[in-house]
Amino acid sequence: MENIGSYNDRGFLNSFLKKGFTDSKCLNEIIANQIDADATYSFFNITEQNIIMSDNGKGINPKKINEMFDMYRENHGSVKKIGVSGLGSKPSMSNLNRQQNMYLVTKELNKPYHTVEIPWKDMFETGKYIGMIIYRLSTQDEIKDFINLRKFLKEELKGTSIYFNYKEDLDNLITDQFDKSSDLDFNDLMANVFSRFNIHISLNHWKSKVKPFVLEYFDYIDKPGNNYFFQTGDNIIERYEHEDNKDNVRYIYNKKYEFKRLSNKSFSKNVTTTIKTLNGWKKNGEYKMYCKHKIDKDYFDPLNPILPTSASGYIIREKNKYKINDYIIKNTKFITNGHLIRNNQFIGLIALDENIKDTSSRGDPEMHFKINCVQCEIKYDPECYQNHPQDIEMGIQEVKGQYIDNKIPKNLHRLFEYIKFQIGDKMWEKMKELSETRDQTRDQTHDQTHDQTHDQTHDQTHDETHDQTHDETHDQTHGETHDETHGETHDEIESTLDIDLILRHKVRSEHLVSEPNSSKDLITVLKDLNSFCNNNLQLYKFIGTNETKKDFSKWIKILVEIKKYLLCKNQIEIEETEEEEEVEVDQ
């Protein structure tokens, strides 16, 4: 009997170019390794000779260095990290440096500096990998450079710096990462891939005399400051394996709904209520799905709700581009498809409209909204061992930011679609409710507004014919007494009324088409502004965001000041409104 089998070093090295390791994915692979090393700062320094990627992570000890350059080491085991196969850093460094020799310098906290020499050129020429990498103490020049790179950090020295030879194409790739209008694939953009991590990414370039470029993250689901009309909490899908057959998996949403298995390869096309017991089934993992609709006032404004009547808008901009947080997105699939997030890293897009014909959203405003205007994220947090069942069923590859979407089980994929459209239904119904409330409120106030407009016209006509005679007689018989008894109160109230403020603001409602140009128009402003506030009070209460409260309160304040001013002049008599009381309570 003879034992056979061997490993070919040259084949291992040549495989670096055949595993989907594009330059963008290689760059992201190294950033992911920095995050796994607990780095909070990642910084690029581009000089005329080198491109240096540095971090303030925990550094690499001798044992970890040896593991880092093992061929296929399962790096993290049961820890929830980004890593998958234990391969990524090697092809990433080799490909980005174009198979040329390079080195890195690393330091643990309160430990010596170490340098790792990686002779890629020699490896590829000789076809030898094992035993070629050198690990040694760092030189004084290497230590000095390591320290200089971290002068801006107010902390004890630690971390890793990787030195690449300067290449113009790598320079351009890194620089484009900090350009919001670049043509990079948004799926590979660092601002998107790592937006859910607490890591500060910056760039110092020898050609730039300004301060370092700082990466501004894009996160259209969780970014602080994003306004959403409607959003849901965690929508949890639990994953159950059969105890006798781990390939037989059920996915149950909200502990109730699933797509039933009909045979080994087919599943029901309609969601069913779970009636089977879970005896003999063991939970092994879960997915969380988030669905939100980011407010676009050009499409649907909750403060002036008009239900969309055409199947267009929201994602349609000049030449199909879309702008979110100043980033220009040219691929609208990035907006309409679900985002797959693994251990907080963006992996790719999942189509959530596979069973919907393209024509369905072209003539149907409601279907257009559900397909194109509801944004979704699908998250899971696996432990990082190589054969994790969730990684397998999601098609995760050796490159962390790559997956095969057609491997997703049909019953799971259909559940993703079901959740998106179910929540889309709820959002659309809420939009209809707001629109109908607005219409009802406008109908109720129409007669009141009409009467106010009629009274206003009558008062103005009467005042014009009567004022001149009244002023001449009234001033002679009453002027002195009025000045003494009313002057102080009038001055006090008038000082609180900022006429300029009113003139600066475009106080508009359906029946007020121009700005007030003098204090004589204040009665007109009062009546129309009162109608505007009454008309929008229910919306103000329903939406209830800080932004709308602030905006609405501004008009209420102006309304109150106008009332005080005109009441003082005895020009109107109007009762206090419930709106004023509501605003006072809210404030």
Range scoring the smallest mean pLDDT among 13-17, 238-242, 293-297, 464-468 = 464-468
* Residues 564-583: tens digit of each pLDDT: 666 665 544 444 444 444 44
Position with higher pLDDT, 301 vs 587 = 301
Position with higher pLDDT, 69 vs 163 = 163
pLDDT at residue number 152: 92
Query: What gap in Å lies between CA 561 and CA 558, rounded to an integer?
Result: 5
Query: What gap in Å lies between CA 398 and CA 410, rounded to an integer?
Result: 23
pLDDT at residue number 153: 92
Confidence label for 143 from pLDDT (cuts 50, 70 and 90)? very high
Confidence label for 372 from pLDDT (cuts 50, 70 and 90)? confident
Confidence label for 488 from pLDDT (cuts 50, 70 and 90)? very low
Average of pLDDT values for 455-473? 55
Average of pLDDT values for 492-511? 38
Instruction: Give percent above pLDDT 90 in the chain.
Output: 35
Residues, the chain, total?
A: 587
Long-range contacts of 69-73 (CB under 8 A, 24+ apart): 69/133, 71/7, 71/12, 71/129
Examine the pLDDT at 388 and tell me if it is beyond 60. yes
Residues of the chain with CATH 3.30.565.10: 9-214
Average of pLDDT values for 52-67? 92
Q: CATH classification of 9-214, choosing from 3.10.129.10, 3.30.70.1050, 3.30.565.10, 3.40.640.10?
A: 3.30.565.10
Cα angle vertex 261, ends 258, 263, to 5°? Answer: 170
Position with higher pLDDT, 237 vs 318 = 237
Range scoring the smallest mean pLDDT among 50-59, 106-115, 468-477, 481-490 = 481-490
Examine the pLDDT at 419 and tell me if it is beyond 90. yes
**Nearest partner of 286 among 240, 337, 246, judged by Cα:** 240
Confidence label for 247 from pLDDT (cuts 50, 70 and 90)? confident
**Nearest partner of 394 among 381, 188, 375, judged by Cα:** 381
Examine the pLDDT at 353 and tell me if it is beyond 80. no
As to burial, measured by CB atoms within 10 angstroms (0-12 exposed, 13-18 middle, 19+ buried), residue 350 is: buried
Range scoring the smallest mean pLDDT among 230-244, 414-428, 482-496 = 482-496
Q: Rounded to 10 degrees, what is the CA torsion of 421, 427, 430, 435?
A: -100
pLDDT at residue number 418: 93
Position with higher pLDDT, 363 vs 171 = 171
Position with higher pLDDT, 287 vs 399 = 287
Average of pLDDT values for 346-373? 78
Average of pLDDT values for 352-358? 65
Examine the pLDDT at 514 and tell me if it is beyond 70. no
Confidence label for 513 from pLDDT (cuts 50, 70 and 90)? very low
Average of pLDDT values for 539-566? 59
Long-range contacts of 184-189 (CB under 8 A, 24+ apart): 184/24, 185/24, 185/331, 186/327, 186/329, 186/330, 186/331, 186/334, 187/334, 187/346, 187/348, 187/349, 187/401, 188/22, 188/24, 188/25, 188/28, 188/401, 189/218, 189/327
Separation of CA 578 from chain center: 38
Average of pLDDT values for 499-521? 41
pLDDT at residue number 482: 43
Q: If you average pLDDT over each of 63-77, 154-168, 464-478, 487-501, which comes out highest?
A: 154-168
Structure token pair of residue 142: 């290497």
Examine the pLDDT at 104 and tell me if it is beyond 70. yes
What one-letter code names the amino acid at 501? L
To 10 degrees, what angle do helices 410-496 and 546-568 make? Answer: 20
Position with higher pLDDT, 305 vs 53 = 53
Confidence label for 461 from pLDDT (cuts 50, 70 and 90)? low
Average of pLDDT values for 136-157? 95
pLDDT at residue number 330: 64
pLDDT at residue number 387: 83
Query: In sequence order, which residues have a C-beta less than 8 Å from that of residue 349 and are 6 or more positions away?
Result: 187, 333, 334, 337, 338, 339, 340, 405
Query: What gap in Å lies between CA 202 and CA 346, rounded to an integer?
Result: 20
Range scoring the smallest mean pLDDT among 83-87, 115-119, 215-219, 303-307 = 83-87
pLDDT at residue number 58: 95
* Residues 162-191: tens digit of each pLDDT: 999 999 999 999 999 998 778 888 888 898
Separation of CA 89 from chain center: 28
The 10 Å Cβ neighbour count of residue 157 is 17
Average of pLDDT values for 356-361? 58
SS3 sequence of 371-395:
HHCCEEEEEECCCCCCCCHHHHHCC
Examine the pLDDT at 112 and tell me if it is beyond 70. yes
Average of pLDDT values for 220-247? 79
Q: If you average pLDDT over each of 126-140, 484-498, 514-528, 546-560, which comes out highest?
A: 126-140
pLDDT at residue number 194: 92
Residues paired with residue 53 on neighbouring β-strands, in sequence order: 44, 162
pLDDT at residue number 484: 46
pLDDT at residue number 439: 77
Q: Rounded to 10 degrees, what is the CA torsion of 464, 467, 468, 471?
A: -170
Average of pLDDT values for 477-494? 43
pLDDT at residue number 371: 85
Residues paired with residue 425 on neighbouring β-strands, in sequence order: none
Q: Where are the beta strands (DSSP E) in 125-193?
A: 134-137, 159-165
Residues paired with residue 240 on neighbouring β-strands, in sequence order: 250, 283
Q: Are 252 and 237 in contact (CB under 8 A)?
A: yes
pLDDT at residue number 528: 62
To 10 degrees, what angle do helices 546-568 and 578-586 make? Answer: 130
- Say which residue the tokens 């267009």 belong to: 312
Examine the pLDDT at 373 and tell me if it is beyond 80. yes
pLDDT at residue number 322: 55
Give me the chain's average pLDDT, please: 77
Query: What gap in Å lies between CA 539 and CA 257, rounded to an integer?
Result: 34
Query: What gap in Å lies between CA 6 and CA 127, rounded to an integer?
Result: 15
pLDDT at residue number 218: 76
Average of pLDDT values for 86-91? 77
Average of pLDDT values for 416-435? 91
pLDDT at residue number 497: 38
